[in-house]
Amino acid sequence: MDGVVDADAGGVSSMNWGELLALLVTGGIFGAVWAILRPRGFAVQLCACGFVTSLVCTQLLMKHLASAARYRFPGLVTTLHFLFVWSVSWVFLAVRGEFQQCRPMSLGSGRRYAGFVLPIAASLPMSIVLNNTSLMYMGAGLAGVIGTLAPIITAILSHFLGRRISRAGWMGILVATCGASCIAMGEVEAGTQDEFVLLGLVLCSISVLLRAVKAVLQDKLLEPAAYDVEKGQAYAAPSLEPMHVWALTAPPCTLLALCYALCTESPAQAVTELTLSVGSLVLLSCISATVLNVLGMMTVKQLGASSMQIVGKLNTLVLLALSMGFWGEQMPKEVVLGTFFVLLGVAIFEHGASRSKLSGR
């Protein structure tokens, strides 16, 4: 009997050690981000850490809805997410007495609205759709490998559209991309691959490209002066606030997501399968997704599109740490190595950005 009791106690102790280690790793990741972004101030630190936290929470809630709750209507749930952001952004501007910013002409011209807002609205839901579709033909690990190209693609697009990135910034992006690739390789599971894997690769690559386009266009709306350095500040278009951008992009995003949901899912069946517990999870996911989208837009404004993409990769590290401690998964050595390189890449990028500001370039 004594031996049995000791074994049980050891199991509990082992489980607690695993959970404690997961929390320490997660805390270490956030601590590193906090230290790296310290020169930018408390608001930027809080925004970046909140962005990663809300990204992790939203992914966990969506995963729980699809697996544990078996409520598999991602299109309709995504539509609700955009609807929440739409409502919050419009209410926010109305309370501030700036409701006129909800009109398309608040950008100055219909041409600017068509050139920025509509492509953002189209690329955001389409990237989600293509990414989800690609998972039907390839593993999540391989999709993660393709996803690691997002920071470098975003940086290249930003560069071609006029944003200057220092040499140190490029080095940071490359280091972080290598780190993210190590993490993704650590997640790849051995398995059979069918003849449709090439289709999955194409769909996933287009999804990554659309995410990069979305991030760069958002960056141009939020900080246009960063793309007009040759023309000078006097010729740059006025910068927009994150809520202003969401007030313009959320309505078409909602409509496009709804069209996709109506084509692929049954609203009647979704209502039939909706229970109190499922409804609570959907509501929590809407709140988490709203916080995620708002903080994501703020992160783009404060850090830029490329740096935002790098910071967003940290959610994978947090998810793996929590999965390791609370759900018994193992963390491959490639993930540990990748974590170091991603954080190092963020530090190098931030150092390059701060040096560019000091030199006036």
pLDDT of residue 186: 61
Q: What is the pLDDT of residue 161?
A: 79
Answer with the residue of higher pLDDT: 244 or 21. Answer: 244
pLDDT digits (tens, 9 = 90+) for 243-290: 999 999 999 999 998 998 899 889 999 999 999 999 999 999 999 999
Task: Please give the structure tokens belonging to residue 292.
Answer: 């995620």
9 falls in which pLDDT band (50, 70, 90)? very low
Query: Could you tell me the two tokens for 329?
Result: 């998964």
Mean pLDDT of 222-231: 70
The domains of the chain are located at 2-359
Q: Report residue 8's pLDDT band, with 50, 70 and 90 as the boundaries.
A: very low
DSSP per residue over 74-141, as a string?
HHHHHHHHHHHHHHHHHHHHHHTT-GGGGSGGGGS-HHHIIIIIHHHHHHHHHHHHHHHHHTTTS-HH
- Provide the pLDDT confidence category of residue 325 given band limits of 50, 70 and 90: low
How far apart are alpha carbons 307 and 66 in whole angstroms?
31
Q: If you average pLDDT over residues 276-305, what whole number do you get?
A: 91
pLDDT band at 354 (very low <50, low <70, confident <90, very high): low
- CA-to-CA distance for 97 and 75, rounded, in angstroms? 33
Lowest mean pLDDT of 36-40, 106-110, 226-230, name the range.
Answer: 226-230
- How many Å apart are CA 272 and CA 71, to the nearest integer? 11
pLDDT for residue 199 is more than 90:
no
Asked if pLDDT for residue 70 goes beyond 90, the answer is no
Q: What is the pLDDT of residue 228?
A: 62
